[in-house]
Structure formats: C-alpha cells, structure tokens
Amino acid sequence: MIFSNRTIHVLLLSLGLTLFISKVAAQSQNENIKPKAALTDSLTYVSDLMAYFDNQGKLDSIEKYARISYNLARRENDLKHVLSASNRLAAIYEERGDLKRALQFNKAARDSESALYKESSALGLLETERLKAEFTAKQAEALAHQESESRKSTLMIIGIFSLAVISKTFLLYIIIRKKKSHNKELRIVLDQVERQNMQLDEGYRFKQHLISVVAHDLRAPVASIVSLLKMFEDGFLSEKETKNMLQKARMEMATLKKFLDEMLTWIVGQRDGLRSTSEAFNIASVITETVALYRRRAQKKRIQIEIESPADTTFVRADKQMIRITINNLLNNALKFCGADDYIYVSAQKVDENKVRIMIRDTGVGFDTKIDRKLTELSQKGVIGTWGEKATGIGLSLCILYLNANNTHLNLKSEPGVGAQFWFDLEMTSEEEKQPEKK
C-alpha cells in the first residue's frame, strides 16, 4: 500500500497528538501539573488536523478533532479555542440537522465570546489603568523635571541678579571711593586756598593797621605845628610865647622823628609779613615817649595823663615796636572815651620776679563786659568817642595780634560810667641782655 505525503503528515500529526495527550494526561494525574504550554501546542496540532480534514470534507474527523479541541480548551479555559471549536461543532450539527446540539454549542460559543469580551474589557481596563499609571508617572516625571528646570532657572536668575547686584555694588563702591578721594583732594585745595586767603587778608589788615598807626601818630604832632604856625602868622603870640611854643614843638618833633625812624625801620622789616624780634629795652622810656605824643591832645580835652612807673629802670624782653604800637593804641583808645576832668593812668609795675605788668587805666565812660564778650568781638564794633571820634576796632585788633606774637595776651576790665582797664604782662630782663632774638 502506497500513502501520499499529506496522508503521512496527518498520520504523524495524529500519532504525535495521541502520544502527547497521553503524556500530558499521565503527568496531570501523577503530578497534578497543568502544562499549559504543552496543551497550547496540542490545540495547535488539533487545529492543523481540523484544517486538513476540513479541506478533505470529512465531517466525522472534523467533529472528532473539534470535540478534542473543545474539551482541551475548556480544560485550560482557553476561551479563544473554545469559541473556535464551539462554532465548528455548532456548524457541523446544524448541517446534520441536530439542532439541539447545534444550539448547545452555539450557546457555548456565545458564552465563550461573552467571556472573551469581558476578559478583553478587563484587559483593556487593566491596560487603561496601566497606561493611566504610566501617564501619571510620566506626568509626575515631567513635573519633577519641570520643577528641576524651574529651580535651575530660578537659581540661574538669582545668580545673575546677585552677580549684577555685586557688580553694581562694587562699581558704586569704586565711584564713592573715587568721589571721596576727589572730595578729599578738593578739600585740601580749598583749605590751601582758604589759608592763602586768610594770609592775604591778614597781610592786608596788617598793612592797614600800620598805615592807620603811622597816619594817626603823625596827625596830632603835625596838626599842633600847623596850629602853632597859624597863631604865629596871625600875630596872636608874643615873642616869648612863640619861643616857648617853638621849644615845645621842637621837643615834640624830636620825639616824633625818633618814633618815625624806629617805626619806619620796623615796618621795612615787616614787609614780608608779621615777624616779632625780641630784644631787651627800657619799658619806662617807651611809655614816656608815647605819652608825650598825646599830651597836647589830652590838654585840649582837659584830660590828665599820669605815668605810674617804678623809679628804677625796668627792662623787658619783647618786640619794642609792637609793644610801642600797643601802648600807643591803648592810650589813644582811652583818650577817645574820656571827657573833661577824667584821668588816664599808665603804669609798669612788677608782679613777680620775672613779670612786669603794663596797664592803661582810665575813668572814662567804660562799657559793659557782663555778657562775657571777647576782645575780638569788641574790636569789630565801631563806636563813637566823647568828641565824636570814630573807632573802627582796628586798634584793639592790632593790640591782640602784636601781644600774641610776643607770647602774651590783652586783659580787660570795665564798667559803664566807671572806666576801663587794659593790661598785659611782659618778661622782665636786664640791660645786659640786649642781643636781639628773631622769631
């Protein structure tokens, strides 16, 4: 007997299926094991057989293997194969006219289809949940990534802002430092200019003081001589009176000449600024010569000038011309504020072994010092003397300046209607110490 290749293939499939099902059944009974993968292979074999017999049109063989497939699929709850086998069996029994079995397997097919639909829905739901969970996870990951990027961006912005603030602060610090340095340099320049202005102003005032002193000291003696010459010219004086007046005028002119010689020599030495030259001199002689210049003026105002100096010669060490100008100004100031029958006392008295106090005291109008005004403030106010003399305060300013240059200071005591006292102290020395000391 000769078999075709297809027949041999079917026989081999049937044999293999029979052996495989027997082996699986044995293992299931002995070991209670469900070899699902093996049964799946069996169902595949059965499907191949059904396809073969379907092509041959052998319903009996198709029914046989369809039942085997149906039973195996039901056993393993393989709904897909149950559905396929049920539909095949329902079709076979419907074709044979066995409607009961056809309905039975048709119902089994619908149940399998419904179960498959539910399973598919469950799987779809699970897939949906899985996808939802996956989406949520990805969304959370994206959100975390976004937050991370946002933090990075925020940190970057903060870093850039901080860098900008630091740069701006550093630049502002440099600008402020340069401005402070510039302001410091400007202050130094302004201080220098101010000092120069003060020096110029001091020099100007100093020259004004000198001009004022010289002009004042020349005015009185010259006016006396002019007055004397006028009286002589008009014939108001007799020969004897003229002789006496000329003798007095000669003495005044001699004193004035000596004063002017010393003053001009001193002024030449001061042309570059105020400088004191310390020397030993007789303070009594300076007082006598200075008072002599104001005798005639005092007589016109009926004021008595008295000198209260010690009998012995008293030498002091200072700048002679500065002290002479100081006494001159203080005496002139006293004459301005004294009237008829007032007295002016000029004295040089020892206060201890090393000091001599020079005082100009008057009984004139005086002024109020209860408000503790400084001499510099008094010297800035111009007042009017008893005969209408103008007082600009230059005299007192000059006194203060000269006495400070000689390491001493001017003191004041006064009451309205009682008079005023001005005094200062000088260092006492001996006649032998006449060597000048420049300062």
pLDDT band, very low/low/confident/very high, at 435 (cuts 50, 70, 90): low
Indicate the domain borders of the chain: 5-136, 276-439
Helices and strands of the chain, counted as H and E runs: 11, 10
Q: Of all helices (H) and strands (E), which one includes residue 282?
A: strand 277-282
Q: Answer yes or no: same fold for 5-136 and 276-439.
A: no
pLDDT in tens, 67-76: 887 888 788 7
Phi, psi (rounded to 5 degrees) for 220: -65, -50
pLDDT band, very low/low/confident/very high, at 364 (cuts 50, 70, 90): very high
Residue-wise over 215-240: b if at least 16 C-beta within 10 A, else e? Answer: eebeebbeebbeebeeeeeeeebeee
User: What pLDDT sits at residue 138?
Assistant: 80
**Amino acid identity for residue 29 in this structure:** Q
**Amino acid identity for residue 247 in this structure:** Q
Angle, alpha carbons 207-209-210 (nearest 5°): 65
| For residue 215, pLDDT beyond 80 | no
Q: What is the CATH number of domain 5-136?
A: 1.25.40.10
Strands 304-308, 343-350: pairing is: parallel
Nearest partner of 274 among 110, 113, 400, 392, judged by Cα? 400
Calpha distance 214→208 (Å, rounded): 10
pLDDT band, very low/low/confident/very high, at 1 (cuts 50, 70, 90): very low
CB proximity list for 113: less than 8 A, separation 6 or greater? 83
Q: What percentage of the chain exceeds 70 in pLDDT? A: 69
User: What pLDDT sits at residue 392?
Assistant: 58
State pTM to two decimals.
Answer: 0.48
| For residue 387, pLDDT beyond 60 | yes
CB proximity list for 13: less than 8 A, separation 6 or greater? 45, 48, 49, 52
pLDDT band, very low/low/confident/very high, at 352 (cuts 50, 70, 90): confident
DSSP conformation class of 4: -
DSSP letters for 127-149? HHHHHHHHHHHHHHHHHHHHHHH
First to last CA, the chain: 162
Domain 276-439: top CATH class = alpha beta
Calpha distance 36→58 (Å, rounded): 29
User: What pLDDT sits at residue 6?
Assistant: 52
313 and 430 Cβ atoms separated by less than 8 Å: no
Mean pLDDT of 287-310: 89
Both structure tokens of 154: 């925020």
User: What pLDDT sits at residue 408?
Assistant: 95
pLDDT band, very low/low/confident/very high, at 315 (cuts 50, 70, 90): very high
Mean pLDDT of 115-137: 77
Dihedral of the CA atoms 216, 218, 220, 224 (nearest 10)? -170
If you average pLDDT over every residue of the chain, what do you get? 76
